[in-house]
Chain A
Amino acid sequence: MFIRFAGHSFEPLASGALYWRDENMLLVADLHLEKMSSFARRGQMLPPYDTGLTLRRLERDIIETGAATLVALGDSFHRDEGTASLQDMDRARLDGLMERCEWIWLSGNHDPAPHMLGGRCLAQFAHRGLVLRHEPQRAAEGLIAGHLHPAARVLMNGRSIRRGCFVHDSRLMVMPAYGVSTGNLNILSPAFMGLFAWSEIRVTMMGRDRLYTVSSKRLVGG
């Protein structure tokens, strides 16, 4: 499956990553690494395994696509301190991934500060006429962003399903959140209002092993 956006062709993956084959570049948004462990300091001992699971998912995508560059579109860490609280095992896996390809970390509202993990830390990244950054905005042209964790709910013959999704019009694409510990938000909710030109909106939902482009007529709230 392909998504044509702003003059380029992209391949969305069922994991929520976006592969830009012409540039051999893999895009992921909102990893939220170390989210669960950030609760432990307040006495809530959530399972410390989310980082490992997200990194393994990412490892699979990097190996399968053979991408040379990885761009993380912000909120890669749930908190700035997350870069320091990585378990040894997770740190080793992340180091291994950074050896496989070049990493570009874009800053997000959860992780505004640059870090020393390796790769480049940027506020945004412009490439081949497109802009990659964390937060979406209406005015830009050819912007790929994350931040909103979009999800769609469709209703067909009395059955309904809600999944994370890619959503775009001719100017803006918002990617789904990639981290295993991330929740999501229906694209009909007010946070998305005014971002897209509704008449040209395209919604690509993440299925179990493949993606589905669904009609915006079928979208429902909730």
Chain B
Amino acid sequence: MRYPLELHPTIAAWFAGKGWAPRQHQLDVLESWQAGASALLIAPTGAGKTLAGFLPTLTDLIETPHDGLHTLYISPLKALAVDVARNLTIPIGEMGLKMRVETRTGDTPAARRQRQRFDPPSILLTTPEQIALLLSHPDAVQLFGSLKRIVLDELHALVTSKRGELLSLAIARIAVLAPQMRITALSATVARPDLLREWIALPAPQAPAHLLKATGGAPPELSILDTEDRLPWAGHSAAWAVPALYETIKRHRTTLLFVNTRSQAEMLFQNLWAMNEDMLAIALHHGSLSVEQRRKVESAMVRGDLKAVVCTSTLDLGIDWGDVDLVVQVGAPKGSSRMLQRIGRANHRLDEPSKALLVPSNRFEVLECEAAVEAVAENHQDSEDPTTGGYDVLAQHVLGRACAGPFDADDLFAEVTRAWPYRELPRSQFDRILDFVATGGYALRAYERYARLRRTPEGLWRIANPQTAQQYRLNVGTIIEEPMVRIRLVRGRGFRKGATSGPISRGGRVLGEMEEYFFTTIVPGDTFMFGGEIVAFEGMHENEAFVSRAQATNPKIPSYMGGKFPLSTYLADRVRKMLATPEDWRALPDQVAGWLHLQRDFSVLPGRESLLVETFPRETHNYLVCYPFEGRLAHQTLGMLLTRRLERARARPLGFVASEYALAIWGLGDLSALIRTGRLSLDELFSEDMLGDDLEAWLDESALMKRTFRNCAIIAGLIERRHPGKEKTGRQITMSADLIYDVLYAHEPDHILIQATRRDAARGLLDIERLGECLKRIRKHIVHKPLDRISPLAVPVMLEIGKEPIFGEARESAMADAADELMREALGG
């Protein structure tokens, strides 16, 4: 045993006093630090990661007195920073050490934040946005010069977002200010730990970076809710499972119920309360509820007052709740890493297995749940890789760098390429981004006289005036909130059809917030679910939406926006394999296996490497249904592109609907006949070149591009989210962003921000990357099955018609229909 020798006596005594022994991975982190290396520690929750991260700091501060900032702890959640500060202060006090530990978040009083800049604590716990702010001051050189360690928590969650990109740039900057600094990163298990190791190694290339793994941890116990009840074909409410879930909640101490969307959370919460005769303390937690309401739920949870919480990804990360003994995933698990992360929210003791229950809400999801159970049993990881650098984020960083003092472009370029997401950034792109920050980067040099950055006589770049720095600091960060409106409960005015905007009583209790976008899709009188009750939309005034209690038992608008996370490619592959392997169906519930048998007899089963395309007539239309299993976003993009091509092939498509698993297109043309007679070739229809011109043509008009552009433009500083003295409302930003996009795209489609938007859209809302992979995989492997009616496998996606938004030319034609109607009226029809 070598470890007692390495621990400082004060710390060793503290461990002994507790009757604990340090864990091996905690000592490994210390050893890496003492060897002068950075380290990435991969450990499951409950493994004592906090102590592992800070053991080197405590040791170093005991052994060597240190002036100024010693260790910076950065977490994605401010609640986590505050919690870790608490967990750290206790052992420091017990060891009798004198060192200052402070947090710095958006909630920290301005006076303290000011003081922290010239009189910093030894250990500062904060978020990526605060680091960017601190770095934008000229005194960052002194503040960070003394820094010896950075501890990055939940790195796996940070690196897949723009926040991670911003953080990587900040770390590259700090590495220049403090060459002695070493990084310790803490992460959950990921698919490719090597990438994360490189991510932390690159900023300080002179130091090695070790990859450390915590061993142990009991494998989780995962099961699927068994049922004799009839499983629905489609839908996401999981209403069938509510009685069983209620009994399960009763049998456990505390249950966390995860769902994929806010509306599912609302629905499940309401259904559970409808049968809550025992008055169990069941709470609701999602991103639209007011902050106070969420804090209330969280503290009730910490006190152990709750029996269950229905929640969305808002509780994926966060502080430890020791009392949770069951995690339930309602609806598709989407990916095995995500599932493992959620399971990890139960039972934070390392040596006991965490318990989780999967509840599919429809038949397809049964397959996905089975695939997830197998993947979790094999501990297979399918987490996303770190993202590569967005130009919008870099633009923000360049401006921040200028706010801190004049810089040399060559130096900054070298520094930026030591941030992992930007390691392959070409110099020409960097120069364009610099030009964008200075004058907007337009080919028409219109704004030289308003430049935000100017060259000094020595050739350095500096900000043109102090207002620029002030504006930068108000707009820092990459988290863009969707424009939200407040929802107020008012007395109903008894909605009458045809009534226009009469006055509605204003005031009334605030229920929470919701995306403004949702209200552009509904009209007064529509009912929907919010805060666990059914409400009727009464009207809007400025940024408030008014609703009244509705009598309805079923909301008219399901407001199901689809899962935010697409089915991972890994799980999708497993699902296809399962479908193609009838021997494996024995594990499935009888009704699901029976359904697949029917499909095999009536049509064919989708192959693992091929794409099944079915065509059939139904009522007055002809349908094409295909089963790529690539997620809703990729299917929507595919649907948009296929309808364009079918239009050209004179198949007269009318619209389409996409689900997570399949895509259905309908139209007037007889698709089976077109294919049989060779007038339509499926290989050509699904050929990869649709990602060329057709995609370009479609992007011209795509609302999704505009929404993506808005985010890029805000992050890059083209549109401000806040002005000194006055807040812009989300609506104003949205309106102008659309217009700016149109003008810019029409005139300079190659502008750096349009490039940034394309990159984001390709991996985000349009999921073009994934669609491209899919088209490559199925090339020459398309199986066409003409049918005389709908197939069993097509039933779920066909049921989505009418519930999901329909795409295609339907919008312009709505106006034409309204005009036709008027014409008939005029003709007395």
Seen from chain A, the residues whose Cβ lies within 8 Å of a Cβ on chain B are 36-37, 40-41, 43-50, 52-53, 87, 89, 154-157, 159-163, 180-183, 188-190, 193, 198, 205, 207-208, 212-215, 217-222
A218, B744: Cα distance in complex, Å: 34
Tell me, yes or no, whether B748 is within 8 Å of chain A by CB: yes
Report the Cα distance A222→B523, complex, angstroms. 8
Partner of B746, one of A49, A154, A213: A49
B743 part of interface (Cβ distance < 8 Å): yes
Residues of B within 8 A of A208 (CB): 812
Among B471, B498, B743, the residue within 8 A (CB) of A50 is: B743
Asked if A221 contacts B539 (CB within 8 A), the reply is: yes
Which of A36, A41, A157, A161 meets B812, CB within 8 Å?
Answer: A161
If A37-B446, A40-B446, A154-B818 are given as contacts, then 9 extra A-B residue pairs at C-beta distance below 8 Å, sorted by A number, are A40-B440, A44-B718, A47-B740, A48-B444, A159-B806, A159-B814, A163-B815, A207-B815, A215-B825
Evaluate contact between B735 and A183: CB separation under 8 angstroms.
Answer: yes
Question: Out of A49, A157, A215, A221, which one reaches B748, CB within 8 Å?
Answer: A49
Are the CB atoms of A49 and B450 closer together than 8 Å? Answer: no
The distance in angstroms between the C-alpha atoms of A180 and B743, with both chains bound, is 7
- When the two chains form their complex, are residues B440 and A214 in contact, meaning their CB atoms are under 8 A apart? no
Tell me the B774-829 residues at the A interface (CB within 8 Å): 806, 810-819, 821-822, 825
Determine the chain B residues whose CB is within 8 A of the CB of A40 once the complex forms.
440, 446-447, 450
On whether the beta carbons of A48 and B814 are closer than 8 Å, the reply is no
Inter-chain contacts of B739 with A (CB < 8 A): 50, 180-183
Known A43-B471, A48-B446, A214-B818; contact A36-B743, beta-carbon cutoff 8 A:
yes
Which chain A residue lies CB-closest to B731? A183
Tally B residues with Cβ within 8 Å of A. 51
Given A45-B439, A48-B442, A49-B748 in contact, is the A181-B539 Cβ separation under 8 Å? no
List 24 interface pairs A-B (beta carbons < 8 Å), by A numbering: A40-B447, A40-B450, A41-B450, A45-B440, A45-B442, A45-B447, A45-B450, A45-B452, A47-B740, A47-B744, A49-B746, A50-B743, A154-B815, A156-B814, A156-B818, A160-B521, A162-B520, A207-B812, A214-B819, A215-B822, A215-B825, A217-B498, A219-B500, A222-B540
> How does the 8 Å CB contact mask read for B428-445 relative to A, with 1 for contact and 0 for none?
000000001001111010
Tell me if A47 and B812 are in contact (CB < 8 A): no
Cα distance A43–B736 in the bound complex, in angstroms: 16
B468 surroundings in chain A (CB, below 8 A): 43
Cα distance A189–B542 in the bound complex, in angstroms: 10
**Least distance between A185 CB and chain B CB atoms (Å):** 10
A158 to chain B, nearest CB (A): 8
Known A45-B447, A47-B442; contact A218-B746, beta-carbon cutoff 8 A: no
Q: Kindly state the separation between the CA atoms of A214 and B813 in the bound complex, as whole angstroms.
A: 12
CB distance from A93 to the nearest CB of B (A): 13
Choose one: A43, A87, A155, A222; the contact of B814 (CB below 8 Å): A155
- Among B734-758, those with CB < 8 Å from A are 735-736, 739-740, 742-744, 746-748, 751
Please, which residues of chain A bring their CB within 8 A of the CB of B815?
Answer: 154, 156, 161, 163, 205, 207, 212, 214
Contact status B467-A43, CB under 8 Å: yes
Q: Which of A45, A159, A207 contacts B810 (CB 8 A)?
A: A159
Residues of B within 8 Å of A222, CB to CB, are 519-520, 523, 540
- Contact: A214 with B822, CB < 8 Å? yes
Are A36 and B746 in contact, with the CB atoms below 8 A? no
- Write out the residue numbers on chain A whose beta carbons fall within 8 Å of the beta carbon of B539: 221
Would A53 and B814 be within 8 Å (CB), given that A43-B450, A45-B447 are in contact?
no
Interface pair B501/A157, CB less than 8 Å apart: no
Nearest-CB distance from A140 to chain B (Å)?
A: 24
Q: In the complex, A182→B742 CA distance in Å?
A: 11
In the bound assembly, the distance between CA atoms of A87 and B443 in angstroms comes to 13
Provide the residues of chain B in CB contact with A198, threshold 8 Å: 500
**Which residue on chain A has the smallest CB distance to residue B545?**
A222
Q: Which residues of B contact A181 (CB under 8 A)?
A: 739, 743
B711-723 CB mask vs A (1 if < 8 Å, else 0) is: 0000000111000
A40-B450, A213-B822 known; A47-B747 Cβ under 8 A? yes
With known contacts A159-B814, A181-B739, A207-B812, A49–B819 Cβ distance under 8 A: no
For the complex, give the distance between the alpha carbons of A181 and B446 in Å.
Answer: 17
Kindly report which residue of chain A lies nearest to residue B441, judged by CB atoms: A45
The chain B residues found within 8 Å of chain A, CB to CB, are 436, 439-442, 444, 446-447, 450, 452, 467-468, 471, 498, 500-501, 519-521, 523-524, 539-540, 718-720, 735-736, 739-740, 742-744, 746-748, 751, 806, 810-819, 821-822, 825
Taking a contact as CB atoms under 8 Å apart, the answer to whether A49 and B498 are in contact is: no
A37 surroundings in chain B (CB, below 8 A): 446-447
Query: Which residue among B500, B519, B814 has the maximum number of chain A CB atoms within 10 Å of its CB?
Result: B814
Known: A155-B523, A161-B811, A212-B819. A49 touches B743 (CB 8 A): yes
Q: 3 tightest A-B contacts by CB?
A: A45-B440, A48-B446, A49-B747
Report the Cα distance A221→B521, complex, angstroms: 10
Min CB distance, B737 to chain A, in Å?
A: 10
A154 to B810, CA, bound (A): 13
Shortest B677–chain A CB gap in Å is: 33
In angstroms, Cα B736 to Cα A157, docked, is 29
Q: Report chain A residues within 8 Å CB of B822.
A: 213-215
* Cβ–Cβ contact B740 & A46, under 8 A: yes
Least CB distance from B237 to A in Å reads 21
Q: Are B814 and A157 closer than 8 Å at their CB atoms? A: yes
Q: How far is the CA of A61 from the CA of B736 in the complex (A)?
A: 25
In the bound assembly, the distance between CA atoms of A46 and B713 in angstroms comes to 10
Q: Which of B446, B521, B718, B744 contacts A87 (CB 8 A)?
A: B446
Question: What residues on A are CB-neighbors of B825 within 8 Å?
Answer: 215
Whether A160 contacts B814 by the Cβ 8 Å rule is: yes
Q: Which residues of A contact B736 (CB under 8 A)?
A: 183
Q: Looking across the interface, which residue of chain B has its beta carbon closest to that of A180?
A: B743
In the complex, are the beta carbons of A221 and B524 less than 8 A apart?
A: yes
CB closest chain-A residue, reference B470: A43
B806's nearest neighbour on chain A, judged by CB, is: A159
Bound Cα distance from A181 to B324, whole angstroms? 54
A156 touches B523 (CB 8 A): no
CB–CB A45/B718 < 8 A: yes
Q: For the complex, what is the distance from the CA of A160 to the CA of B440, rounded to whole Å?
A: 36
Whole-angstrom CA separation of A22 from B744 in the bound complex: 38
Contacts of A218 in B (CB 8 A): 818, 821
Given A45-B450, A183-B735, A222-B520: A212 and B818 within 8 A (CB)? Answer: yes
Residues of B within 8 A of A213 (CB): 819, 822
Q: Closest CB of chain A to B215's CB: distance in Å?
A: 54
In the complex, the chain B residue whose C-beta lies closest to that of A56 is B746
CA distance in complex: A213, B815 (Å): 9
Residue of A41, A182, A213 ringed by the most chain B CB atoms within 10 A: A213
Contact, CB under 8 Å: A156 / B817 = yes
A154–B720 Cα gap in the complex (Å)?
Answer: 32
CA distance A222 to B500 in the complex (A): 12
Q: How far is the CB of B518 from chain A (nearest CB, A)?
A: 10
Closest-CB distance, B540 to chain A (whole angstroms): 7
**Bound-complex Cα distance A220 to B441 (A):** 41
Q: Determine how close the nearest CB of chain A comes to the CB of B398; give it in whole angstroms.
A: 14
Task: Kindly report which residue of chain B lies nearest to residue A181, judged by CB atoms.
Answer: B739
> In the complex, A98→B501 CA distance in Å?
43
- Which B residues are CB-close (under 8 A) to A36? 740, 743
What residues of chain A lie closer than 8 Å to B439, measured between beta carbons? 45
- Looking at A47, A87, A180, A220, the one whose CB has the most chain B CB atoms below 10 A away is A47
Bound complex: CA A108 to CA B339 (Å): 60
B446: chain A residues at CB < 8 Å are 37, 40, 48, 87
Bound-state Cα–Cα, A36 to B447, Å: 11
Determine the distance from Cα of A213 to Cα of B540 in the docked complex, in whole angstroms.
26
Chain A residues with Cβ below 8 Å from B719 are: 44
Residues of A within 8 A of B810 (CB): 159
Q: List B contacts of A89 (CB < 8 A).
A: 444
Q: Does B742 contact A180, Cβ atoms closer than 8 Å?
A: yes
Question: In the complex, A221→B525 CA distance in Å?
Answer: 12
**Contact between A49 and B817, CB atoms less than 8 A apart:** no
Name the residue on A nearest B723 (C-beta): A42
Whether B540 and A87, one on each chain, are in contact in the complex, defined by CB atoms closer than 8 angstroms, is no
